[in-house]
């Protein structure tokens, strides 16, 4: 549970219809495995102690009494174990029968969550047997103890901030207004669902979409346990389809038609971070709810949960392609609107043969196509300087020609040397003045050419560079419209690769692939034996690490120790702990000290959930102290050594 991670499981045991004794042992066998794993929340299917398909046998007293006795054995067996266990059971109260999920922990029955909506269609006629549970909880008897029963129960952990569990049962989540909506608005961050949902063609996909969607709209974790093998197949088949979702993402999913258990960790801190940002998500106290406190033992698991090392890039190839097309469209439409607004016919950008300027040129070409303007109106300026190599120069020129843009070459060497003479800079001294003078000279050329051609300068810098401040102030930092400003470097690569793979022109594809293979560099220092001598990632660190840090710093506001832990999990076998720590310190230092560059960014389109525009996405003081962040990292560094 360190860092807000809670281990959860959805379990489908193999059961027998109308055999609570057998089913009790099946539940206990699986539950003992969960105790060994240190699971904190464990969910079993609907009516698992009797089977869902008992039909008119639910009217038999002996079945109900044996189910209650089975629950008592589970409660007694749970003593000494803090796992919050939800078990489906039919429950009689005041002459009515209720479909319930019993919450068991450490030798106690904490509550009985009742089902609200009874299906009465097709092969299911639950209202023949069960009554909808009360909205306002009531007390029911469990072998002499009074236990709260109702749909509005909140199980609140007293030692894990934000961990509040509520339940609903099967059909409840399929209706237009599920009980889980009210549960979440009353404070629940975890919804459990004991379910018995049968299989028909296409239903599995719909079910997964439903559970992911519900977790997204409620900004919660959703643990869905479905009944499976052992249920009656008189008319239907149950597949045991278990799902654990978190805020719209499927963290774990079982194979259907097998009695499987799925286990992962949910991140309560992540959910709380998301809810803090949503003024529309107004959690309120509801007097109709009964809050039941519980404790969890302190656990420090190795994470089972998959941590993606490229959080900005979809793992699925089809989704990646769809996302790339969408992003390119957003970029192009943003620029299209700006060009229409100023009645512009010319766009000017510096083309270096690097990734960022390549993407900016591709986007500008798409925008001109949308505008119906000839691509000759795109003025791509190559400005070779002291660090330009033949490889990047050739790629810049050939790319421009292949895209039918207008290429113009303006070497910056003579003007920069004159500038050095004017300010008394020794050309042999390769310091920051030597580098930044070149960047500012290039920007001056672009601005002046734009004035000459009555056009605008298209910015090429990306989100990763802005986060690190890896840009020359009032140099490449400045433009009239920045199309790449909210795209991290790891995603820039995929956008260029997507364009290469879909352009349908082999020569253009070859150029783009060579750009992708070229080391990232500002090319401000002289080459060594004709090759790039200044590699950005050698100086500021790997962009895949910095993009990972950026995502969790801005998207969720996680503290440094948690981001370090996540990075070690995600990049296990790629970077060692010392390397991850080194560049994490670099990230925080540069992120704080370089905010002044982000405070005056040019306009540009937002394409994802993380951006640094000072006009809405990142309103951060340029002189904020970063002491507390670095002190936490220094403490972790001492532990490493």
Residue 318, both tokens? 């089809």
Does 596 map to a domain?
A: yes
Residues 324 and 288 in one domain: no
For residue 517, being part of any structural domain is answered with yes
Q: How many domains does the chain have?
A: 2
- Crossing angle of helices 61-77/20-37, nearest 10°? 20
* Cβ partners under 8 Å of residue 436, min gap 6: 472, 473, 475
Q: Do 279 and 382 have their domain in common? A: no
Residue 541 lies in a domain: yes
- Pick the catalytic residue from 68, 115, 212, 585: 115
Statement to judge: residues 66 and 144 lie in one domain? yes
Provide the 8-state DSSP code for 455.
Answer: -
630 shares a domain with 486: yes
Q: Any idea what the Cα angle at residue 121 is, between residues 120 and 125, rounded to 5°?
A: 40
Residues 434 and 328 in one domain: yes
Tell me, what's the pLDDT at 300?
85
Here the CATH number for the domain that contains residue 130 is: 3.60.110.10
What DSSP letter does each residue of 76-119 carry, written as one string? HHTTT---EEEEEEEEEETTEEEEEEEEEETTEEEEEEEP----
The residue written with tokens 């290469």 in the block is 500
Q: With CA atoms as reference, report the closest residue to 115 among 46, 17, 209.
A: 46
Query: What are φ and ψ of residue 140, in 5° steps?
Result: -130, 160
358 & 222 share domain: no
Please say if 115 is a catalytic residue.
yes
Hey, CA dihedral for 366, 372, 375, 378, is it positive or negative? negative
Our measurement of the distance from residue 105's CA atom to the centroid of its chain's CA atoms, rounded to an integer in Å, reads: 31
Same domain, 256 and 351: no
What confidence score (pLDDT) does residue 254 get? 96
pLDDT of residue 163: 97
Supply 362's token pair.
């591709």
Kindly give, in sequence order, each residue whose CB lies less than 8 Å from that of residue 61, ignoring residues fewer than 6 positions away: none
Residue 223 confidence (pLDDT): 98
**Per-state percent for the chain, helix, strand, coil, to nearest 5:** 40, 20, 40
Would you say 467 and 593 are in contact if contact means Cβ atoms under 8 Å apart? no
Structure tokens at 475: 């140099």
Distance of alpha carbon 334 from alpha carbon 366, whole angstroms: 11
Question: Do residues 269 and 321 both lie within one domain?
Answer: no
The single residue of 24, 34, 42, 46 carrying the catalytic annotation is: 46
Domain that holds residue 602: 317-640
- Of the candidates 144, 43, 62, the one whose C-alpha atom is nearest the C-alpha of residue 102 is 43
Q: How many CB atoms lie within 10 A of CB 58?
A: 21
Question: With contact defined as beta carbons under 8 Å apart, do 165 and 138 qualify?
Answer: no
Burial of 272 (0-12, 13-18, 19+ CB in 10 A): middle
pTM of the model: 0.93
- Catalytic site includes residue 170: yes
- Measuring CA to CA, how many Å separate 383 from each of 264, 393, 444, 445? 52, 9, 11, 9
Domain presence at residue 608? yes
Cβ of 286: how many Cβ atoms within 10 Å? 14
pLDDT of the residue at 121:
67
Q: Name the nearest CA neighbour of 251 among 287, 278, 211.
A: 211
Q: Are residues 354 and 434 located together in one domain of the fold?
A: yes
- Among candidate residues 157, 170, 220, 324, the one labeled active-site is 170
Identify whether 210 is part of a domain.
yes
Do 466 and 485 form a contact (C-beta atoms < 8 A)? yes
308 located within any domain: no
Whether residue 279 is found in the same domain as residue 370? no
Same domain, 342 and 374: yes
CA angle 548, 553, 554 (to 5 degrees): 105
Does residue 462 contact residue 492 with C-beta atoms inside 8 Å?
Answer: yes
The series of mean pLDDT values per 10 residues for the chain, 641 residues long, is: 93 97 98 97 98 95 97 98 98 97 98 94 78 94 97 96 97 96 95 95 94 97 97 92 97 93 97 90 79 93 94 93 97 98 97 97 98 98 95 96 98 97 96 96 98 97 97 96 97 97 96 94 83 84 97 96 97 96 97 97 95 93 97 93 73
Say if residues 518 and 388 touch (Cβ distance below 8 Å). no
Distance of CA 482 to the CA centre of its chain: 25
Give CA–CA dist 109/345, Å, rounded. Answer: 73
> Residue 290 and residue 151: Cα distance in Å, rounded?
10
In a domain, 583, yes or no: yes
Among 246, 263, 294, where does a domain finish? 294
Q: Are 342 and 396 found together in one domain?
A: yes
Q: Is residue 580 part of a domain?
A: yes
* CATH number for the domain that contains residue 545: 3.40.50.620
Where on the phi/psi map is residue 595: left (φ > 0), alpha (ψ -120 to 50), or beta? alpha
Question: Running DSSP on this structure, what letter comes out for residue 232?
Answer: -
Report how far residue 227's alpha carbon sits from residue 52's, in angstroms, rounded to the nearest whole number.
8
Predicted local confidence at residue 122, as pLDDT: 57
């Amino acid at each position: 549970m360190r860092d807000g991670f809670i281990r959860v499981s959805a379990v489908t045991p193999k059961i027998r219809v109308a055999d609570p004794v057998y089913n009790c042992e099946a539940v206990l066998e699986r539950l003992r495995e969960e105790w060994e794993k240190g699971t904190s929340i464990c969910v079993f299917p609907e009516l698992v102690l009797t089977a869902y398909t008992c039909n008119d046998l639910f009217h038999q007293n002996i079945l109900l009494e044996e189910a209650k006795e089975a629950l008592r054995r589970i409660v007694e067996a749970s003593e000494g174990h803090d796992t919050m266990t939800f078990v489906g059971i039919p429950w009689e109260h005041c002459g009515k029968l209720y479909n319930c999920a019993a919450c068991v922990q450490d030798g106690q029955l904490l509550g009985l969550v009742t089902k609200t909506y009874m299906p009465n269609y097709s092969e299911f006629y639950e209202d023949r047997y069960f009554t909808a549970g009360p909205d306002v909880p009531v007390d029911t008897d469990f072998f002499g103890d009074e236990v709260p029963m109702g749909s509005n129960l909140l199980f609140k952990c007293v030692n894990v901030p934000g961990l509040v569990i509520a339940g609903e049962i099967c059909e409840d989540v399929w209706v237009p207004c599920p009980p889980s909506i009210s549960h979440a608005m009353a404070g629940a961050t975890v919804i459990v669902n004991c379910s018995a949902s049968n299989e028909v063609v296409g239903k599995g996909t719909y079910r997964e979409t439903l559970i992911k969607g519900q977790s997204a709209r409620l900004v919660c974790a959703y643990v869905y346990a479905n009944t499976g093998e052992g249920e009656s197949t008189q008319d239907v088949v149950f597949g045991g389809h278990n799902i654990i979702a978190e805020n719209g993402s499927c963290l774990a999913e079982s194979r259907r038609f097998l009695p499987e258990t799925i286990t992962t960790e949910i991140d309560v801190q992540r959910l709380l971070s998301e809810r803090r940002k949503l003024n529309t998500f107004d959690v309120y106290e509801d007097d109709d709810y009964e809050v039941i406190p519980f404790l969890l033992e302190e656990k420090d698991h190795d994470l089972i949960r998959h941590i993606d090392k490229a959080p900005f890039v979809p793992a699925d190839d089809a989704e990646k392609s769809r996302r790339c097309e969408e992003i390119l469209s957003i970029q192009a439409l943003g620029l299209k609107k700006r060009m229409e607004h100023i009645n512009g016919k010319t766009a000017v950008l510096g083309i270096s043969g690097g990734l960022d300027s390549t993407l900016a040129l591709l986007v500008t070409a798409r925008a001109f196509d949308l505008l119906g303007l000839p691509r000759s109106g795109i003025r791509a300026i190559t400005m070779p300087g002291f660090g330009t190599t033949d490889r990047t120069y050739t790629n810049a020129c050939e790319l421009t020609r292949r895209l039918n843009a207008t290429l113009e070459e303006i070497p910056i060497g003579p003007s920069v040397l004159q500038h050095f003479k004017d300010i008394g800079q020794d050309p042999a001294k390769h310091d920051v003045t030597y580098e930044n003078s070149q960047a500012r000279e290039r920007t001056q050329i672009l601005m002046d050419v734009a004035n000459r051609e009555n056009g605008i300068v298209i910015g090429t810098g990306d989100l990763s560079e802005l986060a690190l401040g890896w840009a020359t102030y009032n140099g490449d930092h400045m433009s009239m419209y920045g199309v790449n400003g909210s795209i991290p470097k790891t995603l820039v690569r995929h956008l260029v690769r997507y364009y290469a793979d879909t352009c349908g022109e082999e020569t253009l594809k070859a150029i783009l692939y060579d750009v992708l293979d070229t080391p990232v560099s500002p090319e401000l220092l002289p080459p060594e034996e004709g090759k790039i001598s200044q590699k950005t990632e050698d100086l500021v660190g790997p962009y895949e690490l910095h993009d990972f840090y950026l995502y969790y710093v801005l998207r969720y506001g996680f503290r440094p120790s948690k981001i370090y832990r996540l990075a070690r999990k995600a990049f296990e076998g790629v970077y060692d702990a010392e390397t991850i720590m080194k560049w994490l310190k670099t990230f925080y230092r540069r992120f704080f000290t370089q905010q002044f560059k982000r405070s005056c960014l040019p306009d540009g389109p937002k394409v994802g959930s993380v951006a640094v525009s000072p006009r809405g996405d990142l309103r951060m003081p340029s002189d904020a102290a970063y002491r507390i962040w670095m002190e936490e990292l220094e403490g972790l560094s001492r532990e490493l050594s």
